[in-house]
Amino acid sequence: MVSKRLLSHVRACNLWYRIGCYLLLVQLVGCTIANHNPAPVTSVQGYKIELRSHINTPSYRVKKGETLYAIAWRSNQDFKFLAALNQIPDPYQIYPGQVLKLKGKIPASVYKKPTPVKIAKTTNSNANKSTAKTSIKAPLKPLVKPATITTVTAKTSDRPPTKSKPPVNAKPVVKVVKPNAMVSNNKLKWSWPASGKLIRTYSTSKSGQQGVNIAGSLGRNIIASENGRVVYSGNGLRGYGNLIIIKHNDDYLSAYAYNQKLLVKEQQWVKAGQKIATMGNSGPNSGAELYFEIRYRGKPVNPMRYLPKR
């Protein structure tokens, strides 16, 4: 009888011990999650990447393959501001390991104008005195009598002029014309970067979408929305997949994300309507789409205000 009671007591103790251990484990897991909240992970074109890793720190250490434009994009900053803040001259070269300031005031030396140099006037009193005493009594006579110039009219021939023939070994001259990539703000004429249905639009909320999503089919053409220069082409920005950023002028940039294949390289000039990529998707379980952004001085703006109605 005693052994049965003792056995039941031991079983009860074991049960409460297990419950206590379980509660302790749950508490430890909860604390771990609260203290370490990693960025969500998704898959773009078969690669696992973190979603939209924006930079909110006052400084940032440059990693391999990053550009000033890409860092400005991730921190929602104007690349010109970052260049001035860190005193980086055009063409804005940065290096791995370099620490960039992302917040602060631009040094006064950047705006310092050169001091004008005053040139002192030199006077020669002796020269002035001699000049004052000298006077011309009569005009000088010319040494040589000017000759009379007569005009002779050439006789025109009745034969038509003969065309000069180019040399046999002469090569045709090819004019290299640089595309008019940088367009002033009032002359920008934006066009849709892809054909397809608009499935998500721009949002003004703090955590809302900063661009638009256009649905389509894999491999569909992605075109440049305006003339410009490619300042980023790669997949180093987490959350954008294969991304292209085009600089249209000192104020406007445009971005094309989730591409299947990139067809342009950095520093390449492109024209409006030129094919720059093919459409991809944002994950293995999502359809083909393009994510498109327009930024004015580093800040996202609503693309629908710039794109033509269709």
Q: pLDDT tens digit string along 188-220?
A: 999 999 999 999 999 988 778 899 999 999 999
Does the pLDDT value for residue 16 go beyond 80? no
State percent of the chain over pLDDT 70: 59
Kindly list the structural domains of the chain, giving each domain's residue range(s) and its CATH number in brackets, ordered by start: 48-105 (3.10.350.10), 185-305 (2.70.70.10)
Alpha carbon distance 57, 106 (integer Å): 17
229 and 267 Cβ atoms separated by less than 8 Å: yes
Percent of the chain with pLDDT over 90: 42
pLDDT score, position 20: 64
- How do residues 234-244 score in pLDDT, each as one tens digit? 998 888 999 99
Contact 258, 215 (CB under 8 A): no
Placement of tokens 């038509």 in the chain: 160
Give the per-residue pLDDT at 23: 59
| pLDDT band at 133; cut points 50, 70, 90 | very low
The dihedral region occupied by 210, where left means phi > 0, alpha psi between -120 and 50, and beta the remainder, is alpha
Distance CA 290, CA 195 (A): 10
Average pLDDT rounded to a whole number, residues 145-163: 53
Statement: residue 35 has pLDDT above 50: no
Q: How far is CA 273 from the centre of its chain?
A: 18
Q: How confident is the model at residue 59 (pLDDT cuts 50, 70, 90)?
A: very high
Across all residues in the chain, what is the average pLDDT? 75
